[in-house]
Amino acid sequence: MFIPVESTPPSFKDFTLIMPAVAVGNVGQLAVDLIVSTLNMHRVGYIHTDCLIPMAGNNPYATSEENSSELHVAAEVYTEPEMKLAVLQIRTLIIQTKSKKFRNLIVSWIKDSGFSRTIVLSSSYAYQRDDQQLQGTPLRYLVTPALQKVSGDVLKELGWREMERVSAFPGLTDTNTEPRLYIPGGGITRGLFMDSCAEELLLAVVLIFCSEGDNIPDAFTLVNHLNNWLHLLDKPNQETIKWKIPSSWKLLFGGGIPPAIF
C-alpha cells in the first residue's frame, strides 16, 4: 500500500507514472535514477509491502551533507507536479513467490490513483533474442490496447519497434502454436503487461536488450529513447542531453581495491 510522507496524501490524478521492472542489468532502475536526479523530483511517499526484500539506506540522490543522511527504503514515489510526472523507484528484488501479489498491488494502486498512463522501463537478455530481434535497434516497446488507441500512432511516427512475438519452439515449422510474448530476464514485465491488458489500463513497456555488466550506457540509451516520446528534457541541437548522475552511482561497483592489500 502507498504511504504518504506528508499528512495530506498527494493527488496523482492525470499524472504520468514511470516505474522500472527489476530486470537484467537493473537498466530500468538506473534510468529512473537519472530521471529523479535530473528533474530534482521530491519524495512524496513509499510503497509498504512484504513482496519486496526489505532495505534501508542513505539518500541515493544526496546533494549535500545535510540531506545525505536521510533514510530511504525499498520502494519510493517521487513527483514533479508541474510536469504532472510521478516516478516509482524499486531498489530491491521482488520475492519470487509473491510476484503475482506485487503485480496486483501495483495494478490496484495505479487504478486507485488515477494515473493517466503508466510506463514501465525494463530490459531483456540480449543472448536470448529471436533471429528477427537481432536486426536493428535493441530497443522495443509494448502498449496495452487501451493505450494503443491514444498513443499508438505517435510511437509509430517515432519509428519505434514493437516487441516481436516469438515461436514457442524456434526452428519447428509444423507446430500449430501461436507466437508468444517472451521477455527472458524481464522480471514482472510480461506479467504486469498482461495484467494491465486485462484491466484495460493505459500502460506501455519500453525495454532494451542487454547483458549483465556495466549497464550505465544501456540506462542512458533507454532514458534518451523515452525522452524522444515524453520530452522530459529539451534536446539541444547536435548535442546530447545532459542527465544528472546521482551521487549513489559512485558506489555502483564498490569502493575499489584497497591499496593496503599490496
Question: Domains in the chain and their CATH numbers?
Answer: 10-252 (3.40.50.10900)
CB-based contact 103:188 (threshold 8 Å): yes
Distances (CA, A) of 178 to 49, 83, 161, 169, 184: 36, 41, 20, 10, 18
Where do we find the cell 486485462?
Answer: 198
Model-level pTM greater than 0.95?
no
CB-based contact 99:23 (threshold 8 Å): no
Residue 98, judged by CB atoms within 10 A of its CB (0-12, 13-18, 19+), counts as middle
How confident is the prediction along the chain (262 residues), in pLDDT tens digits per residue?
899 988 888 999 999 999 999 999 999 999 999 999 999 999 999 999 999 999 999 999 988 877 888 899 999 999 999 999 999 999 999 999 999 999 999 999 999 999 999 999 999 999 998 888 888 899 999 999 999 998 888 998 999 999 988 876 666 665 566 778 999 999 999 999 999 999 999 999 999 999 999 999 999 999 999 999 999 998 776 567 789 999 888 877 776 777 887 7
Distances (CA, A) of 28 to 121, 122, 206, 220, 221: 5, 5, 9, 10, 11
Degrees to nearest 5, angle at CA 41 with 152 and 249: 95
